[in-house]
């Protein structure tokens, strides 16, 4: 059988493809037929498979040392404990935030009516008492946010 240059090129391209991905049964049959009767392409296949086997055989040459594994396990335990402590420290802050949110929700009518009553007795303008009501209403949430930002900054500095 006469093999043309394009046949060799096709065979080599198929050989390369076959080790990376699936090729069709038709392509496989053509390839096997060609390679069996072609010395250079057969050599190419051997070289390719040896290369792959060579890469695979490198596995045994790299092992993490027992000391590295122990050190890593210890570092992970240490970091886990640190994260646990951070979370515990953040617990009261979350509770404070939730309480502040609840307070803000429940106290809207109370603060509004309270400041209006006060305004009525001190004859301040509507703008002033309404601004005061909003300010008082937002104060717990503002404090919580400030505390949160502060705690986050503290964690970043410590981390």
Q: How far is CA 144 from CA 3, 33, 124, 130, in A?
A: 81, 77, 30, 22
46 or 138: CB nearest other proteins? 46
Which residues bind to other proteins, rule: CB under 8 A? 16-17, 19-21, 47-48, 50-59, 61-64, 68-69, 71-73, 75-77, 79-80, 83-84
Q: Minimum distance from CB of 131 to other proteins (Å)? A: 43
79 or 116: CB nearest other proteins? 79
Q: Minimum distance from CB of 65 to other proteins (Å)? A: 8
**Is the separation of the CB atoms in 147 and 96 below 8 Å?**
yes
36 or 58: CB nearest other proteins? 58
DSSP state string for 30-68 = HHHHHHHT-HHHHHHHHHHHHHHHHHHHGGGG----HHH
């Amino acid at each position: 059988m006469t093999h043309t240059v394009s046949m060799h090129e096709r065979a080599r391209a198929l050989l390369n493809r076959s080790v990376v991905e699936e090729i069709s049964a038709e392509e496989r049959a053509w390839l096997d037929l060609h390679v069996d009767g072609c010395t250079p392409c057969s050599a190419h296949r051997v070289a390719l498979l040896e290369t792959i086997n060579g890469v695979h055989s490198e596995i045994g040459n790299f092992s993490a040392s027992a000391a590295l594994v122990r050190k890593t396990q210890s570092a992970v335990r240490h970091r886990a404990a640190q994260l646990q402590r951070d979370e515990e420290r953040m617990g009261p802050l979350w509770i404070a935030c939730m309480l502040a949110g609840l307070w803000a929700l429940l106290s809207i009518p109370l603060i509004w009516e309270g400041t209006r009553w006060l305004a009525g007795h001190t004859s301040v303008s509507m703008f002033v008492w309404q601004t005061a009501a909003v300010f008082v209403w937002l104060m717990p949430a503002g404090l919580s946010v400030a505390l949160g930002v502060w705690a986050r900054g503290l964690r970043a500095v410590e981390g």
